[in-house]
Amino acid sequence: MRLTDQQGREDMINRRNMLLATAAVFGTALLNAPRQTFAQDSAFDRFSLFVPSGVGGGWDGVARAIDQVGRKAGLLSQITIDNVPGAGGTVGLPLFINQHRGRDNSLMIAGNVMMGAIITNKTLYGLQDVTPVAKLTQEADVIAVGASSPYQTIDDLIAALKKNPGLPIGGGSAGGIDHIILGLTLKAIGADVTKANYVAFSEKAQAIASMMGNQVHAALSGYSEYAEQIRAGNLRALATTGELPLEGAGVPTLKQIGIDVALSSWRGVFAPPDVSEEQVARLVGLITAIHNQPDWKQILKDRQWDDAFATGSDLKSAIANDRAAIQTALKAIGLA
């Protein structure tokens, strides 16, 4: 009888251990299931990134970062990146709208630079004709000159612009953030904004060559676009245009020298028109997954991009507010 009781107890213990082991395995599967399902649901075999600017610029940099991180994370497989430069993205925008309409495996890189170009060029299409997915990065401009330039500091350049506001200053598209910063700076120092001589470049390489050859007295762009040439000693940074100094840049902001101008460029992704809410949600899931990768965080750090991640109603509000602010700024400098 005692032996039978012992046997019964052992059987009960064995059954309990088996149940606990089964529960542990099942619980682990449940814990892992959402992550696995999310990755499977978010993965795309074929994907297109449409960049309405030239190779090497800020939008192009974001596209290639998405490509790099998405591939490594297994979220993207076969990716094409199409660059269609011109007029602050307004050349490529109608192509994206008409050629990618309804496609759920396609995103366009754009941001507030395009807003200014749309207003300035009075284009038929605008960002209201595409589908906002996510805001990703934000970056202050740098005001730079060629290494042989006589301007050693931002004060030197400002003094020259006060004397002659018509000095050629380069940057991105007409009406974009670079152009607006120049106009607001001239206005802030009491110079005649109507005499501004803004030289718009469609590709970063053109602006760099013009600075190094002293065809322009200075140029503006996102800091990351000139950083390599600044480190190499081919360009010299004079100032940045954010609210706060840029770590490692070693130069003041415009605000720090008494010029009340602070603007940055943000970059995000937009889906074509005529995509369903479910398709948009899948794209938001993809970009969110990429944004959450450690490799993405490292890219932000390496390129000194600020994390400006926003989706949904926050993104729509940001777009509406920025559009109004840019419209006001363009009117203030006579470009709208």
According to DSSP, the β-strands at 235-240 and 131-146 are: antiparallel
What is residue 295's predicted lDDT score, i.e. its pLDDT?
98
Contacts of 254 (CB under 8 A, 6+ apart): 154, 185, 239, 240, 241, 260, 261, 262
pLDDT tens digits, residue range 11-27?
Answer: 444 444 444 444 443 34
Name the amino acid, one letter, at 214. Answer: N
What is residue 303's predicted lDDT score, i.e. its pLDDT?
94
| Among the listed residues 113, 266, 257, 249, the one whose alpha carbon sits nearest the alpha carbon of residue 188 | 257
What is residue 73's predicted lDDT score, i.e. its pLDDT?
94
What is d(CA 176, CA 269) in angstroms, rounded to the nearest whole number? 18
Say if residue 174's pLDDT is above 80.
yes
What is d(CA 24, CA 18) in angstroms, rounded to the nearest whole number? 10
- Which is more confident, 55 or 164? 164
Q: Which residue has the tokens 């762009």?
A: 221
What is d(CA 235, CA 238) in angstroms, rounded to the nearest whole number? 10
Mean pLDDT value across residues 316-329: 95
State pTM to two decimals.
0.84
Mean pLDDT value across residues 295-302: 97
Please say whether the beta carbons of 320 and 115 come within 8 A: no
Please say whether the beta carbons of 288 and 134 come within 8 A: yes
What's the chain's average pLDDT?
89
What is residue 39's predicted lDDT score, i.e. its pLDDT?
54
Which pLDDT band, with edges at 50, 70 and 90, does 44 fall under? confident
What is residue 202's predicted lDDT score, i.e. its pLDDT?
83
43-138+266-332: CATH number: 3.40.190.150
Which pLDDT band, with edges at 50, 70 and 90, does 30 fall under? very low
Name the amino acid, one letter, at 238. Answer: L
Catalogue the E-assigned strands of the chain.
44-51, 76-83, 106-111, 131-146, 168-171, 197-200, 218-222, 235-240, 264-271, 306-310
What is d(CA 85, CA 164) in angstroms, rounded to the nearest whole number? 31
What is residue 14's predicted lDDT score, i.e. its pLDDT?
45
What is d(CA 243, CA 138) in angstroms, rounded to the nearest whole number? 12
- 38-47, 206-215, 327-336, range with the lowest pLDDT: 38-47
Say if residue 192's pLDDT is above 80.
yes
Every domain of the chain and the residues it spans: 43-138+266-332, 140-257
- Which is more confident, 82 or 203? 82
- Report the percentage of the chain scoring pLDDT > 70: 88
Mean pLDDT value across residues 209-221: 97
According to DSSP, the β-strands at 218-222 and 168-171 are: parallel
- The reply to whether 43-138+266-332 and 140-257 are identical in fold is yes
Locate all alpha helices (DSSP H) within 144-191, ordered by sequence.
154-163, 177-188
What is residue 231's predicted lDDT score, i.e. its pLDDT?
96
CATH architecture of 140-257: 3-Layer(aba) Sandwich (3.40)
Which pLDDT band, with edges at 50, 70 and 90, does 10 fall under? very low
Q: Which element (helix H / strand E) includes 18?
A: helix 2-42
- Which is more confident, 126 or 31? 126
Say if residue 32's pLDDT is above 60.
no
What is residue 85's predicted lDDT score, i.e. its pLDDT?
93
What is residue 29's predicted lDDT score, i.e. its pLDDT?
37
- Report the percentage of the chain scoring pLDDT > 90: 83
